[in-house]
Amino acid sequence: MANLDRIEQIKQFTKEEPENPFNWYALALEYREIDPETAESLFNKLLESHKGYLPTYFPAAHFFAEKGLIPKAKAIFLTGIALATENQESKAEKELKNAYQNFCFENDLDD
């Protein structure tokens, strides 16, 4: 399936199930490379409207870090780590902590 066909299909899913965070998440991932402004809007929507959707935090933090929005990326990492800890999602917590350590090292941040 071509990327644009997949995007159209996911858009349809968001219309059918607007409260399902996975649909918005999948759409944000599709737009990361082809339309960063739309991806940013979708990640922001997820972070505001679906705060408990843990899968968002890893790619969103990386996305904002790549855009040079370091304080925002840091806040997203820390929120995701706290959410994973709270939900006892040890694998996600470990992955987020490792990614956060790398992020801090790459951006010369103290934590």
Q: Do 45 and 70 form a contact (C-beta atoms < 8 A)?
A: no
Quote the mean pLDDT of the chain.
95
Q: What is the pLDDT of residue 2?
A: 58
C-alpha to C-alpha distance for 66 and 52, rounded to whole angstroms: 23
Same domain, 104 and 86: yes
pTM of the complete model: 0.91
pLDDT of residue 7: 94
Q: How many domains does the chain have?
A: 2
> Are both 95 and 55 inside the same structural domain?
yes
C-beta neighbour count of 73 within 10 angstroms: 22
pLDDT value of residue 1: 46
Environment class of 38 (CB within 10 Å of its CB; exposed 0-12, middle 13-18, buried 19+): middle
What is the residue range of 95's domain?
51-111
Q: What is the pLDDT of residues 48-85, one digit of tens each?
A: 999 999 999 999 999 999 999 999 999 999 999 999 99
Same domain, 56 and 107: yes
Mean pLDDT of 26-40: 96
For residue 78, which of 48, 10, 60, 14 has the smallest C-alpha distance? 60
Query: Is the domain of 109 the same as that of 55?
Result: yes
